[in-house]
């Protein structure tokens, strides 16, 4: 089943980035899904996510179709949804200005204003979208009623910044010789390196381990090559570089966030360690709960742990008691090879 949607293109003039750069005009595509008279929920995913979060007749399966569907808490009947494409400068622009999560939050606020949308019932952000959601709640505390931040924190670890630096160096190395095929290969390699960090250690061991010499390496290499090549079919090197740098520049002063907040973390997440999310919880000066999902899937739990996330969403959207300080979900013992 597909949800009715309206596709919009928002144009902003004289946009000033958080780094002080003035952009004459920028355009962003967004979608409104469902009945606009219903409470409005914002959905944001990782850097590779698009506005097509839900199933649609035009673009097929949505990237969050396992969580936002008719039979889930986030269904087509009770809520309306807003999604948008993160902004990055076109490929033709050399040395584009830096774009930050704060800039993406300002763009979301502009979408809200231009489309004359009401206060958001809840803003849900996962991974990069979680960073943007924190920036939005900090900058525009009166523009939303609740915040759900999944697999994200107010800052990034030095280790993950180092890994992304290597990814960008790989991409730039491939782009330096002006050979488009080589550039694509290097982009695929950088993405493959990123995928290693998206998943948990235990999943890799269970999914690819073998008693035969060399078989484990062959299996995981095939998987990584496939993920890298698939990514290059829908992502440009310029966009990847810009959004990667945007992650590394992410830092939010969360002291101005005043809405009820639910943080969701994954025990095996290597990109956003649980300690960083707990530290964020301690910094927040509002009603905040932390849910921890014990998952095999690491950072990608926000895509693969739909059942557990739906359970948490049920608690958030249906419960009248928002006073607990901590909530830990029971461990999920599914094997990684089972999906």
Give the residue numbers marked as catalytic.
127, 269, 299
Distance CA 246, CA 80 (A): 29
Q: Where are the alpha helices (DSSP H) in 176-293?
A: 180-198, 201-208, 215-232, 237-248, 274-283
| Rounded Cα gap, residues 51 and 174, in angstroms | 29
Are the CB atoms for 24 and 13 separated by under 8 Å? yes
Instruction: Label the pairing between strands 22-33 and 5-16.
Output: antiparallel
**Paired strand residues for 196:** none
Distance CA 143, CA 81 (A): 15
Q: Are 221 and 182 in contact (CB under 8 A)?
A: no
Among 18, 43, 66, 254, CA closest to 129? 43
**Paired tokens of 98:** 């830096």
List helix spans (H) across the chain: 101-114, 128-139, 158-175, 180-198, 201-208, 215-232, 237-248, 274-283, 301-304, 306-318
Is 142 in contact with 268 (CB distance < 8 Å)? Answer: no
């Amino acid at each position: 089943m597909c949800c009715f949607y309206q596709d919009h293109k928002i144009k902003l003039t004289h946009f000033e980035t958080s780094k002080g750069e003035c952009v004459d005009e920028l355009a962003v595509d967004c979608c409104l899904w469902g009945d606009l008279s219903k409470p409005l929920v914002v959905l944001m995913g990782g850097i590779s996510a698009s506005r097509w979060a839900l199933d649609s007749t035009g673009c097929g399966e949505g990237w969050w179709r396992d969580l936002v569907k008719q039979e889930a808490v986030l269904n087509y009947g009770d809520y309306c949804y807003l999604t948008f494409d993160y902004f990055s400068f076109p490929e033709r622009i050399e040395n584009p200005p830096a774009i930050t999560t704060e800039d993406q939050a300002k763009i979301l606020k502009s979408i809200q204003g231009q489309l004359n949308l009401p206060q958001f019932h809840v803003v849900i952000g996962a991974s990069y979208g979680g960073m943007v959601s924190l920036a939005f709640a900090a900058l525009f505390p009166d523009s939303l009623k609740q915040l759900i931040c999944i697999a994200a924190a107010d800052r990034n670890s030095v280790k993950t910044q180092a890994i992304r630096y290597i990814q960008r160096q790989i991409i730039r190395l491939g782009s330096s010789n002006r050979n488009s095929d080589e550039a694509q290969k290097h982009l695929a390699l950088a993405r493959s390196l990123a995928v290693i960090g998206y998943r948990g250690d235990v999943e890799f061991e269970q999914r690819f381990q073998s008693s035969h010499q060399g078989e484990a390496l062959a299996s995981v290499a095939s998987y990584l090559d496939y993920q890298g090549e698939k990514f290059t079919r829908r992502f440009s090197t310029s966009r990847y570089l810009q959004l990667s740098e945007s992650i590394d520049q992410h830092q939010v002063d969360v002291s101005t966030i005043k809405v009820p907040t639910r943080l969701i973390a994954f025990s095996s997440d290597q990109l956003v360690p649980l300690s960083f999310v707990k530290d964020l919880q301690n910094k927040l000066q509002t009603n905040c709960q932390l849910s921890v999902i014990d998952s095999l899937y690491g950072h990608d739990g926000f895509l693969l742990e739909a059942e557990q996330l739906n359970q948490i969403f049920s608690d958030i959207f249906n419960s009248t008691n928002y006073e607990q300080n901590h909530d830990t979900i029971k461990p999920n013992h599914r094997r990684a090879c089972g999906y």
